[in-house]
Amino acid sequence: MRVSVDEAAGVVQRALASGIRLDKTVMFHDLGRVRARLDALTAAFPRGTLHAVAVKANPLVEVLKVVVAHGAGLEAASFEELELALAAGCPPERLVYDSPARTVAELRDALALGAWVNVDGPEELERIAVLGPPQGARIGLRVNPGVGAGSIAATSTVARGGRFGVSVEDVPALVARHPFVTGLHVHTGSQGVGLALIEAAVRVTAELARSLGLAWLDVGGGIPVRYTAADPEPPTYAAWGAMVADAAPGFALVTEAGRSVHAAAGFTVTRVESVKRVGDRTLAIVHVGADLFLRWVYASASWDHDLALLDADGRVRVGPGEPVDVAGPLCFAGDVPARGRTLPAPRAGDLLLVRDTGAYTLSMWSRHCSRALPPVWGVDGDAFVRLHAGETPADVVRFWSNRPAEE
Ligand SMILES: Cc1ncc(COP(=O)(O)O)c(C=O)c1O
């Protein structure tokens, strides 16, 4: 399922042969793998389940188009993501809009569009009551089942006292007061959550929905992936689907997977610009760091990526390993995504391969030091399709410039 080092090296060699330049950083996304994941997801759940893939995992419009063309829907976490989903051609009936902070106008427009709308709290229900929910609107209430946290606190969402959704005990009165609520929504977290925790959350939420006579259940996303050998074997979609079938029989279902669709389909190649020896440290200085890998750099206790070194022609470097620190291009001391990794002695011009970068990388892009977004290429069988051109320095100047008043 993950793109192996040899496979990635083969893609890099073909990319170079076809004229794709690897001056700084290039990202690749294997579209065949994305489609295979969607097929596995579809096969794991009952026919008619809406699989709304989380836009935030990978918001490239060309990637969203692949997801939509393959029959899946999209989950938007902001009005802007909703616009991205529409730009990718997602039909409103396959569009799920979740957001803890949206304006009345955003809410009204999403309802008028016919998207599924999951509500995060009582005040928003009151706003919908005032707006008057359109006939047939699919409005869900997000529940916090309070069943515990996963191993990453910052991405765990079903512990008691968590910020998202409504506590189980408050749900019945809210649904009685707002009969336009037709379903419940629960999302356990993203990475660091096992199937047992997801199951506990789904069971509590399904029981509640059944007792309230609600017809549909959105079970969220959160299926973890394996970034390194230290990560546990992730649950399969088949296991997820079987668990939901057992825990929530009889409901129309929605899922919101993101990371498990995209992470393993992507990898990043960045040029070693120089090698520096500082005391007993060997630093391989590359062209991306905390700008692309926010979590890896700023929350390194929870996030990691496997690495390999290729030569300038994309061949896997072999040879005795030595401890290498990978230093990013940003001008702060902490921009060191990896420390003490055993790699062949790096040379300027080598290419560092960072694996499993298809989710929550570009979508978290940071403007620190104003470096340009890298280009992204889709790998579709033997063909390369451009998914994003990346930015030029002029694009960055435009980004930071005030727009002309008439725009
Ligand atoms: C409400 C909601 N749904 C779905 C997702 C996607 O989760 P994942 O990418 O881990 O599958 C997230 C991620 O944060 C989320 O907050």
Active site residue 331: yes
List pLDDT tens digits, range 4-31: 999 999 999 999 999 999 999 999 999 9
Closest CA to ligand 1's atom 14: 190
pLDDT in tens, 122-174: 999 999 999 999 999 999 999 999 998 998 989 999 999 999 999 999 999 99
Catalytic residue among 229, 318, 331, 333: 331
Residues 128 and 254 in one domain: yes
d(Cα 378, Cα 383) in Å, to the nearest integer? Answer: 8
Same domain, 140 and 213: yes
Q: Structural domain of residue 324, as residue ranges?
A: 5-28+264-400
123: three-class secondary structure by DSSP: helix
CB 56 within 8 A of CB 259: no
pLDDT for residue 1: 84
Residues 10 and 135 in one domain: no
pLDDT digits (tens, 9 = 90+) for 107-128: 999 999 999 999 999 999 999 9
CA 94 to ligand 1 center in whole angstroms: 16
- By most ligand atoms within 8 Å of CB, the mutation choice from 50, 223, 256, 259 for ligand 1 is 256
Write the residue with the smallest CA distance to atom 1 of ligand 1. Answer: 187
Residue 407 lies in a domain: no
Distance 160 CA to ligand 1 centre (A): 18
pLDDT score of 256: 98
Measured from the Cα of 57, ligand 1's closest atom is: 9
Residue 224: pLDDT band by 50, 70, 90 thresholds?
very high
CB-side neighbour CA atoms (13 Å) of 124? 24
CATH at 214? 3.20.20.10
Task: Write the DSSP assignment of 232-277 as a string of letters.
Answer: PPPPPHHHHHHHHHHHSTT-EEEE---HHHHGGGEEEEEE--EEEE
Predicted confidence band of residue 380 (pLDDT cuts 50, 70, 90): very high
Conformational region of residue 49, where left means phi above 0, alpha means psi within -120 to 50, and beta covers everything else: beta
- Starting at the edge strand that comes first in sequence, how are the strands of the sheet with 338-344 ordered? 274-278, 281-285, 321-327, 338-344
- What whole-number percentage of the chain has pLDDT above 70? 100
Atom of ligand 1 nearest to the CA of 224: 10
Confidence of residue 401 (pLDDT cuts 50, 70, 90): very high
| Whole-number pLDDT of residue 407 | 60
Sign of torsion, CA 86 88 93 98? negative
Does residue 404 register a pLDDT over 90?
A: no
What's the gap in Å between 93 CA and the centre of ligand 1? 19
- Minimum-distance ligand 1 atom for the alpha carbon of 155: 14
Q: Is residue 405 part of a domain?
A: no
Q: Which residues line ligand 1 (CB under 6 A)?
A: 54, 57, 75, 98, 187, 190-191, 220-223, 256-260
Is residue 218 one of the residues assigned to a domain? yes
370 CA to centre of ligand 1 in angstroms: 28
Looking at the fold, whether 24 and 54 belong to one and the same domain comes out as: no
Where is the domain boundary, 207, 241, 260?
A: 260
Specify whether 46 is located in the same domain as 175.
Answer: yes
- Whether residues 22 and 38 share a domain: the answer is no
pLDDT tens digits along 298-317: 999 999 999 999 999 999 99
260: closest CA among 221, 288, 286?
A: 221
Cα 297 to ligand 1 centre (Å): 21
Instruction: Tell me the pLDDT band of 358, cut-offs 50, 70 and 90.
Output: very high
For residues 131 and 247, membership in a common domain is answered with yes
User: Do 85 and 197 belong to one domain?
Assistant: yes
Of the three residues 236, 260, 284, the one that is the final residue of a domain is 260
Q: In what order do the strands lie in the sheet with 266-271?
A: 307-310, 351-355, 266-271, 25-30, 376-380, 383-388
Q: What is the pTM of this model?
A: 0.97
User: Is residue 292 assigned to a domain?
Assistant: yes
Instruction: Please give the tally of structural domains in the chain.
Output: 2
Which ligand 1 atom minimizes the distance to the CA of 260?
11
Region 183-203: mean pLDDT is: 95
Across the range 196-208, mean pLDDT stands at 97
